[in-house]
């Protein structure tokens, strides 16, 4: 378990774990010596040998003092190592999270990550580091005790020695199902967490659709499962503890029995026999302690497996030798024979998609729900990679561009704006913390945020609340536009689900987009006729394939799908005509 974990942790944290293992073993050896030395000491005292008693007592006192000091040192250093390791594990997890493709994030995985960060991080750090001493003591001390016992009674030593693997076996059997129970318990826990989040977040839907009972039923069923697995878990643990405790008691009884039989054979050696019996009892104590920490270590082992699985989930790879993008404002985009397949659906979400977007132009992606628009949009800022094919910007494959460079050059506007729970200023300057007030004022005017700042208490320093919920949808959208405008990207990706916006915010988005024309290459998932009409090109997706592409005016005349989509709308006066730059297209695009 520990080896598995150390393989994915950073060097400093690994060093912390290794040092704690060494400290724990050193403590266990000293503790073993202190226990073992009780045998000759007791034998000397009971036997009335005062000179030997003094000698053994001094040694025993020394070993006991050293063992106590080592214990204090191990706990103190272990506690510090725990806090360092916990922070390091959480940072590793958060950093890994940033590198995962967006498709990885599902409600149950989000809940899983939540439990890995907390309380999972405790399980992989504190529960291991602070129990290592008890574990080492439970293994090393009995072995040392057996060595001491062998010096006075080989028979008793053999019984003790044999009981160690036997007890280990009993321990394995009695705790075998604990790990499986822990997996079931964890799955139920994750499911319940996901359901609670879902229930809280979907209140509007549940209430407006009068389906509160459905949401409640899903939640209570998850909580029922959690309750059942928790009960099973407690039963398993009690059975494991009782089983192991009984086995240890049987082992101690066997040792005392052997000692007793020896007493019958040689009644004069009473001192050694009393000392051996005492040792047998002390031999059992560290073994029992291991059983007590076993449950915690089993839980840790299951959490370590999940943590390692998470940390080894393939990231979107960073290029070994990143290529630099051409300087200049706009960048062209090439979608080159792209296929995207999701594991959960048999049909490809995108199939042989080909088109080029010349620099400075605006392309509207249109199509029915499920046509593949969002999937296509996600490929450009490399939130996910295509299954086959390539996406190039400025002629460079996005997989060959460092993520920092890519995210600086591409601005992304999504319909669901989630802001950081900081001030408006912090959110606008998220990508440009060095921006001065003049720049902020300029983007505030451009995005319509100036009106919001003038109106709300605190202005630029107003707190937006968790996920930005102190602001309306339109206000959050303006913050997002101001942030992207300040970023001054070469490409803007925009999912125009403007239905959530008030008419003023919608006009602001449209004005901002039309002002980008020529300076920035824009790709819009378009739902509004106005946006479609003013785009340079339109790409029509259906079932993951490009079925039409060209200028809006051309497509409107072509009599195809696009024509049918818009034929109820008559105002085509603003549409860009065929005299403008054509959409260069490749195979598969009609
Ligand atoms: P659109 O944006 O045009 O509505 P999408 O790109 O969201 O379409 O979806 C295209 C297809 O891919 C749909 O069939 C959808 O169910 C599926 N899909 C989208 N995202 C995922 C995902 N993360 N996992 C599995 N299937 C997905």
* 375 Cβ below 6 A of ligand 1: yes
Going from the Cα of 375 to the center of ligand 1, the distance in angstroms, rounded, reads 6
In a domain, residue 292? The reply is yes
Among protein residues, the one whose CA lies closest to atom 14 of ligand 1: 370
Do 72 and 121 fall within a single domain? Answer: yes
CATH of residue 339's domain is 3.40.50.300
Do 127 and 226 fall within a single domain? Answer: yes
Mutating to test ligand 1, I would choose from 340, 371, 372 the residue with most ligand atoms within 8 A of its C-beta, which is 372
Cis before 359 (ω within 30): no
Which residues are CB-contacts of 309 (< 8 A; sequence separation ≥ 6)? none
What is the residue whose two structure tokens read 């592409």?
549
Do 191 and 306 fall within a single domain? Answer: yes
Domain count, the chain: 2
One pLDDT digit (tens) per residue for the chain, 590 residues: 888 999 999 999 999 999 999 999 999 999 999 999 998 998 889 888 899 999 999 999 999 999 999 999 999 999 999 999 999 999 999 999 988 988 788 878 888 898 899 889 999 999 999 999 999 998 898 899 899 988 888 888 888 888 888 887 877 777 777 777 777 888 888 888 888 877 877 777 777 665 556 767 778 888 888 888 888 888 877 887 788 888 888 888 887 788 778 767 776 677 777 888 888 877 778 887 887 787 678 778 889 999 999 999 998 888 999 999 887 778 999 999 999 999 888 899 999 999 999 999 999 999 988 999 999 999 999 989 999 999 999 999 999 999 889 989 999 988 778 899 999 999 999 989 999 999 999 999 999 999 999 999 999 999 999 889 899 888 998 999 999 999 999 999 998 765 456 777 778 888 888 888 888 999 999 887 778 888 999 999 999 999 999 999 899 888 888 888 777 654 444 555 544 444 545 433 33
> How many Å apart are CA 427 and CA 446, to the nearest integer?
16
In a domain, residue 589? The reply is no
317: left (phi over 0), alpha (psi -120 to 50) or beta: beta
* 349 Cβ below 6 A of ligand 1: yes
Do 467 and 413 fall within a single domain? Answer: yes
Residue 335's H or E segment, with its range, is: strand 333-340
Mutating to test ligand 1, I would choose from 108, 343, 344, 345 the residue with most ligand atoms within 8 A of its C-beta, which is 345
Which residues are CB-contacts of 181 (< 8 A; sequence separation ≥ 6)? 229, 232, 233, 236
* 374 Cβ below 6 A of ligand 1: yes
Instruction: Give the pLDDT score at 159.
Output: 83
Q: What is the dihedral angle through the alpha carbons of 433, 438, 443, 445, rounded to the nearest 10 degrees?
A: 150
Edge-to-edge, what's the strand order for the sheet holding 537-542?
410-413, 491-495, 521-525, 362-367, 537-542, 545-550
CA proximity to 96, closest of 252, 296, 312: 312
| Secondary-structure percent of the chain, ordered helix, strand, coil, rounded to 5 | 65, 10, 25
What phi, psi does 524 have (nearest 5°)?
-120, 130
* 415 Cβ below 6 A of ligand 1: no
* 344 Cβ below 6 A of ligand 1: yes
Edge-to-edge, what's the strand order for the sheet holding 333-340?
350-357, 333-340, 388-393, 396-397
Mutating to test ligand 1, I would choose from 106, 110, 335, 342 the residue with most ligand atoms within 8 A of its C-beta, which is 342
Residue 54: strand, helix, or coil: helix
Instruction: Give the pLDDT score at 542.
Output: 93
Mutating to test ligand 1, I would choose from 101, 107, 364, 375 the residue with most ligand atoms within 8 A of its C-beta, which is 375
In a domain, residue 587? The reply is no
Do 370 and 306 fall within a single domain? Answer: no
Do 280 and 348 fall within a single domain? Answer: no
Which residues are CB-contacts of 530 (< 8 A; sequence separation ≥ 6)? 510, 574
Handedness of CA 172, 173, 177, 178 (dihedral sign): negative
What phi, psi does 369 have (nearest 5°)?
-60, 135
Do 563 and 475 fall within a single domain? Answer: yes
* 370 Cβ below 6 A of ligand 1: yes
Instruction: Give the pLDDT score at 212.
Output: 55
Atom of ligand 1 nearest to the CA of 106: 23
What is the residue whose two structure tokens read 């300029």?
442
CA proximity to 310, closest of 516, 582, 538, 95: 95
Is the pTM value of this prediction over 0.85? no
Going from the Cα of 103 to the center of ligand 1, the distance in angstroms, rounded, reads 10
DSSP-assigned states of every residue in 463-507:
B--GGGTTS-HHHHHHHHHHHHHHH--SEEEEE--GGGS-HHHHH
CATH of residue 202's domain is 1.20.1560.10
Among protein residues, the one whose CA lies closest to atom 5 of ligand 1: 372
Do 462 and 496 fall within a single domain? Answer: yes
Going from the Cα of 49 to the center of ligand 1, the distance in angstroms, rounded, reads 86
What phi, psi does 230 have (nearest 5°)?
-65, -45
In a domain, residue 100? The reply is yes
CA proximity to 431, closest of 451, 405, 453, 452: 405
* 209 Cβ below 6 A of ligand 1: no
Cα 13 to Cα 117, 135, 306, 553: the distances in Å are: 16, 20, 18, 62
Instruction: Give the pLDDT score at 587.
Output: 36
* 543 Cβ below 6 A of ligand 1: no
Going from the Cα of 541 to the center of ligand 1, the distance in angstroms, rounded, reads 13
* 371 Cβ below 6 A of ligand 1: yes
Last residue of one domain, picked from the residues 277, 311, 345: 311
Going from the Cα of 365 to the center of ligand 1, the distance in angstroms, rounded, reads 15
Instruction: Give the pLDDT score at 575.
Output: 53
Instruction: Give the pLDDT score at 208.
Output: 66
* 351 Cβ below 6 A of ligand 1: no
Atom of ligand 1 nearest to the CA of 372: 6
CA proximity to 144, closest of 236, 34, 61, 55: 34
In a domain, residue 318? The reply is no
Do 371 and 274 fall within a single domain? Answer: no
In a domain, residue 502? The reply is yes
Compute the half-sphere exposure of residue 20: CA atoms within 13 Å on the CB side of its CA. 30
Do 277 and 372 fall within a single domain? Answer: no
The two tokens of residue 254 are: 């066997």
In a domain, residue 189? The reply is yes
Instruction: Give the pLDDT score at 574.
Output: 52
Do 446 and 509 fall within a single domain? Answer: yes
In a domain, residue 582? The reply is no
> How many Å apart are CA 582 and CA 549, to the nearest integer?
10
Please give the residue range of the domain that contains residue 539.
333-568
Do 159 and 238 fall within a single domain? Answer: yes
563: left (phi over 0), alpha (psi -120 to 50) or beta: alpha
Instruction: Give the pLDDT score at 422.
Output: 92
* 346 Cβ below 6 A of ligand 1: no
> How many Å apart are CA 484 and CA 471, to the nearest integer?
18
């Amino acid at each position: 378990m520990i080896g598995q974990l150390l393989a994915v942790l950073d060097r400093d944290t690994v060093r912390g774990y290794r040092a704690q293992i060494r400290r724990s073993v050193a403590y266990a050896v000293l503790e073993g010596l202190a226990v073992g030395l009780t045998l000759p000491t007791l034998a000397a005292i009971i036997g009335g040998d005062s000179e030997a008693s003094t000698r053994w007592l001094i040694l025993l006192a020394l070993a006991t003092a050293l063992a106590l000091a080592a214990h204090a040192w191990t706990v103190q250093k272990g506690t510090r190592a725990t806090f360092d390791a916990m922070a390091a594990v959480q940072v590793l997890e958060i950093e890994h999270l940033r590198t995962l493709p967006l498709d990885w994030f599902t409600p149950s995985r989000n809940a899983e990550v939540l439990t890995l960060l907390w309380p999972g991080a405790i399980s992989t750090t504190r529960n291991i580091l602070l129990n290592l001493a008890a574990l080492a003591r439970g293994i090393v001390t009995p072995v040392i005790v057996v060595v001491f016992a062998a010096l006075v009674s080989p028979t008793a030593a053999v019984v003790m020695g044999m009981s160690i693997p036997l007890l280990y076996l009993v321990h394995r059997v009695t705790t075998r199902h604990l790990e499986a129970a822990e997996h079931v318990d964890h799955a139920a826990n994750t499911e319940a967490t996901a359901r609670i989040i879902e229930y809280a977040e979907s209140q509007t839907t549940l209430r407006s659709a009068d389906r509160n009972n459905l949401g409640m039923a899903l939640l209570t069923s998850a909580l029922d499962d959690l309750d059942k697995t928790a009960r099973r878990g407690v039963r398993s643990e009690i059975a494991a503890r009782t089983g192991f405790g009984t086995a240890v008691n049987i082992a101690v009884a066997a040792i005392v029995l052997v000692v007793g039989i020896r007493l019958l054979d040689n009644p004069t050696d009473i001192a050694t026999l009393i000392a051996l019996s005492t040792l047998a009892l002390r031999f059992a104590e560290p073994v029992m302690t291991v059983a007590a920490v076993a449950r915690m270590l089993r839980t840790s082992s299951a959490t370590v497996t999940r943590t390692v699985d998470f940390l080894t989930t393939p990231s979107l790879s960073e290029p070994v030798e990143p290529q630099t993008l051409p300087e200049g404002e706009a960048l062209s985009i090439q979608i080159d024979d792209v296929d995207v397949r999701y594991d959960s659906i048999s049909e490809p979400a995108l199939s042989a998609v080909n088109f080029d977007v010349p620099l400075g132009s605006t392309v509207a992606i249109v199509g029915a729900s499920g046509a593949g628009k969002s999937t296509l949009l996600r490929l450009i800022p490399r939130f996910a990679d295509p299954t086959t094919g390539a996406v190039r910007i400025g002629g460079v494959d996005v997989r060959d561009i460092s993520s920092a460079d890519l995210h600086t050059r591409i601005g992304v506007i999504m319909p669901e704006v989630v802001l950081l729970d900081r001030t408006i200023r912090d959110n606008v300057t998220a990508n440009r913390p060095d921006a001065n007030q003049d720049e902020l004022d300029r983007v505030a005017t451009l995005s319509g945020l100036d009106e919001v700042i003038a109106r709300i208490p605190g202005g630029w320093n107003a707190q937006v609340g968790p996920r930005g919920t102190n602001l309306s949808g339109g206000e959050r959208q303006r913050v997002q536009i101001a942030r992207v405008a300040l970023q001054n990207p070469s490409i803007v990706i925009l999912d125009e689900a403007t239905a959530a916006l008030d008419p003023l915010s919608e006009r602001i988005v449209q004005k901002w987009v039309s002002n980008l024309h020529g300076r920035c290459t824009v790709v819009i998932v378009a739902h509004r006729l106005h946006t479609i009409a003013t785009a340079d090109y339109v790409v029509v997706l259906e079932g993951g394939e490009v079925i039409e592409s060209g200028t809006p005016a051309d497509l409107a005349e072509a009599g195809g799908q696009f024509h049918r989509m818009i034929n109820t709308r008559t105002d085509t006066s603003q549409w860009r005509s065929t005299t403008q730059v054509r959409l260069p297209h490749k195979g598969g695009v009609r």
